[in-house]
Structure formats: structure tokens, C-alpha cells
Amino acid sequence: MALILSIETSTTVCSVAITEGNNVLATQKLFLEKSHSNLLTIIIQDLLKACGLSLKEISAIAVSKGPGSYTGLRIGVSTAKGLAYSLDKPIVSVSTLKAMAHEVSQYNTEGSLFIPMLDARRMEVYTATYNDSLEPLNEVEALILDEESFRETLTHRKALFHGDGAAKFKPLIESNKNARFIEGLTPSAWAIGQLAFNKYQKEEFEDIAYFEPFYLKEFRATTPKALL
């Protein structure tokens, strides 16, 4: 059975997991700002030690490909590529939003749609809609939320909104009886690993040299205001 080391750094939360098939052997999350660059490799080492494994025993490296934080994705993908290259192992990428939908599928008792949301800025979120089989119903998009967002969808179907961006949407739509919200959920590496296993079996690997994160939007650097 394939042992997959998974990395999820699309938000401020840093998550790592080791899975064997669909079994989660070990997983850890760090809810620390700017922890990715300093602590990611330490978490990986700790999890391997806890499982009694070495990096050479890992079958593949899986990584959350985005959308999400530009810096977080860059660090996660760079780490995954470095490990895959040095170990001569394949790299598997998984959509951040699809993994979030997979994570909440255990709560879906009513055949609801999954609508994960990652906070972008102001009232904007990165989002997509998936059916209860995790099939995408639209393209991943950067959406500015208002009272009309998803109104037509919620006329016909119940939907589970989740992710740090959903908190901004809840006050706008919580009166709609078809809208459900799962709070406090952040992307998890174990969900990346489980979805990556399916792609691993089909040998759906990335080209290590050319693979880049799916940023969705171009990075825009801001110039700090001069101190007076």
C-alpha cells in the first residue's frame, strides 16, 4: 500500500500528514502565523519519527496546489518539489478546495452541495461548488460576496458552506433555510493524502521541474506607508 506524505500550506495554518491508502497514520496542524518556512520540515521529521518511517519509505509526496495564500502555497510546493526531487519520488497535487469538500463529506447527510470558501480580501473569497460525489459544478473562482451570491443555487439545493471565507458570507445568507455552515474548519493534509491516493493509483503525477501552484490571482506586492 502506498505511503504518502502530504503537505497543506494554502492558509496561515500549516498541516502535514502521512497516509497509507485511505488510512491516516499521523497528522499535525500548526495554528501559528508565518510558521510554514520555519517549522514545516520539523513537522515532517516529527511525523516520520512517530510512525517509525524514513523518507526513503515514502511512496509519493502530495501537496495542496491552491488556490490560497501566495506565500503559503509557494513554500508548500517548493518543499514538496525538493523532497520529490531528492528522493526520486513522484509528486501529486490536489485542489485545496476539493480537499476541503472531501473533509466535510462525512457531515453531508442530506445530499447537500459542498461550497468551500477561502478568505481572499475584504468580501472576496476563492470558491467552487461540488456535488455530493465531489464532482465540480463550476470553475474555481475569485468571488466578491453579496446578498445575491448563490441565491439561485440555494433555491433548488441545500449547501454546506465551510472554510475561513464562509464566515464573511454567513451574515448575508444565514436566513436561507437551505444554507448550512460548518465553522472552524481549516484545510487538512490528511484530506490531501486521501485524494492523492486515487491519483497515485492512476499515476497522475506532476512534472517536478515545471509544476507551479494554482494561485488563481497574480501576486500583488504592496508598498508600506512611510513612517512619520
Per-residue pLDDT tens for 145-158? 999 999 999 999 99
CA distance 25 to 59: 14
Q: Is the bond leading into 116 cis (omega within 30 degrees of zero)? A: no
Residue 228 pLDDT: 39
CA distance 207 to 200: 14
Q: Which of helix, strand or coil describes residue 117? A: strand
Residue 105 pLDDT: 94
Do the domains 3-95+187-201 and 97-182 sit in the same CATH topology, yes or no?
yes
Put residue 154 in one of left, alpha, beta given phi > 0 → left and psi -120 to 50 → alpha. alpha
Q: Where are the domains of the chain?
A: 3-95+187-201, 97-182
Could you say which of 3.20.20.70, 3.30.420.40, 3.40.190.10, 3.40.50.1220 is the CATH number of the domain covering 3-95+187-201? 3.30.420.40
CA distance 132 to 137: 11
Q: Which residues of the chain have pLDDT under 50?
A: 219, 221-228
DSSP label at residue 177? T
Residue carrying the nine cell digits 480580501: 121
CA distance 220 to 215: 12
Residue 43 backbone dihedrals phi, psi, to 5 degrees: -60, -40
Beta bridge partners of 68: none
Residue 37 pLDDT: 78
What does the pLDDT look like over 37-83, one tens digit per residue? 789 999 999 999 999 999 999 999 999 999 999 999 999 999 999 99
All residues at 6 or more sequence positions from 198 whose CB lies less than 8 Å from its CB, including other chains:
none
CATH 3.30.70.380 fits 97-182, yes or no: no
Does residue 173 contact residue 179 with C-beta atoms inside 8 Å? yes
